[in-house]
Structure 1
Amino acid sequence: MNATRRRAKTAPSTTGGGLAGATRGRARNYTQMLGLIHQAAIEVFAAEGLTGASTQAIADQAGLSKAQLHYYIESKEALYRQVLQDIVNDWIGVFGFSDEALGPRKVLTELIQRRMQFSFDHPLRSRIFTAEMMRGAPAIREMMGASRQRTEQAAAVIRNWAQRGLMDPVDPLLFLFHLWAATQFYADHAAQVAFFRDASMSNEKDRRYLTENVTDFLLKAAGVR
């Protein structure tokens, strides 16, 4: 983790109050501890945002004292930036296009499925990204270079498919925005979806149903042949 302090001395004991029983009585190695802190930060940032979050809340969520937490991190802001960087890296992988020659139906179907799966499996990461964008993206803007390049490449592929008559002549960038919005909804508004459908978002059958419907809707909207 870029925002962590690399120290040669032995890490402080983490067997004290607050740690899960399974970890009591044995030291955690450095990598495991960073993972614990990272997950705690995701949960706190998703619930409170950067402004509302505190290192005390993150420490409590991780089962650490505040002093123990600050052994591993430089600051709340540095930890937040690292969480955002990891999310951006995730997006780059999720939004990757398959071989253009496979055509829009197969490539876009796979993309929508990956986006929906990410929304189902990592809603907190998605909400942190959305909240950062809603406040003007001050922390994440400098991290978006690779993501922008990947998006422009995807837009060029969509434009080529349209020129070849494989789909309607849509605005490729706006189509990607619509795809993002439709799939992101199931992360940011998971509670709303579960409430109105009286269904569990963790149920595999419900996930398949939602994914199939979103896929069908978006492909029809784009006039995919």
Structure 2
Amino acid sequence: MNTSNPASTAEAADFESKSSSTRGRSRKYAQVLAVINQAAIEVFAADGPQGATTQAIADKAGLSKAQLHYYIGSKDALYRQVLQDIIDDWISVFGFADEAYGARRVLSDLIRRKMIFSFEQPLRSRIFAAEMMRGAPVLRPMMEVQSKRRTEQAAAVITNWTSQGQMGPVDPVLFLFHLWAVTQFYADHAEQVHFFRGGATADDPKEREYLIAQVTAFLLRGAGVK
């Protein structure tokens, strides 16, 4: 005998329908935010935070200005979010692996991750570099605690490696700056690399591996990594 309550069954079906509808709206909302974020990256990379406009971002995202402001509070808030996302990724990219693996392996992995980020996210790299060149007015408060602490931790690891004879007597913070500068070049000056490399691009897996190998060898040799 069927003892199910028709009212309860109807309520459950209605709840499931509403839940599915909510999940659908959430997915759409997230998808639109992702489109806006990418549009903002392209506009901020091209025009900077001063030259960028919400109209330009809306146009790039395929939205009206009114639609854009439904999803964001302001251009400045969007710029801060883009920078925060970059900072979060830098923390991941520059996270040191287990110190016990040794200088050569850990630094080689670090250089590879940073090079790949430069190849695959050149616009975000340029936004970060441009912000730093402006004196980091927006970035500085974001970097005060977390980024500074992570840099100090990385420097302590490098100092330990030098004391063990795994590296030459380098200034650990300056070494990190040098590593950053060399790898960042492939984001900021991709066209120059493309031109002087005879048209080869980092989209080609062989070219990418060649560049990573050359940069890794140069940096490790310069730091006296055994």
1:202 to partner: Cα distance: 1.2
Q: Return the TM-score normalized by structure 2.
A: 0.87
Q: Return the TM-score normalized by structure 1.
A: 0.87
Distance in 1 (alpha carbons) for counterparts of 2:97 and 2:66: 46
Distance in 1 (alpha carbons) for counterparts of 2:139 and 2:125: 13
Change (3 A) 1:217 1:48: same
For 1:16-31, list aligned pairs within 5 A. Answer: 29-31=28-30
Q: Secondary structure at the match of 1:29?
A: helix
Q: How many residues align?
A: 200
Q: Secondary structure at the match of 2:80?
A: helix
1:81-107 Cα deviation digits (max 9, x unpaired): 000000000000000001111110000
Change (3 A) 1:63 1:215: same
Q: Residue 169 of structure 1 aligns with which residue?
A: 169
- % same residue: 69
Distance in 1 (alpha carbons) for counterparts of 2:97 and 2:34: 31
Q: Residue 202 of structure 2 aligns with which residue?
A: 201
1:28 to partner: Cα distance: 7.2
Change (3 A) 1:224 1:27: closer
| 1:137 to 2:132 alignment | no
1:200 to partner: Cα distance: 1.6
Distance in 2 (alpha carbons) for counterparts of 1:52 and 1:205: 38
Matching residue's letter, 1:211: I
1:201 to partner: Cα distance: 2.4
Distance in 1 (alpha carbons) for counterparts of 2:195 and 2:43: 23
Q: Residue 37 of structure 1 aligns with which residue?
A: 36
Distance in 2 (alpha carbons) for counterparts of 1:130 and 1:208: 24
For 1:40-79, list aligned pairs within 5 A. Answer: 40-79=39-78
| 1:185 to 2:185 alignment | yes
Q: Residue 146 of structure 1 aligns with which residue?
A: 146
1:20-54 Cα deviation digits (max 9, x unpaired): xxxxxx99711111111001000000111001100
1:203 to partner: Cα distance: 1.1
Q: Which of 1 and 2 has greater Rg? A: 2
CA-based RMSD: 1.3
Which structure 1 residue ranges, 4+ long, deviate > 4 Å from structure 2?
Answer: none
- The structure with the greater share of residues assigned to helix is 2
Q: Residue 83 of structure 1 aligns with which residue?
A: 82
1:148 to partner: Cα distance: 1.1
Q: Structure 1: any 5+ residue segments left out of the alignment?
A: 1-25
Distance in 1 (alpha carbons) for counterparts of 2:58 and 2:26: 17
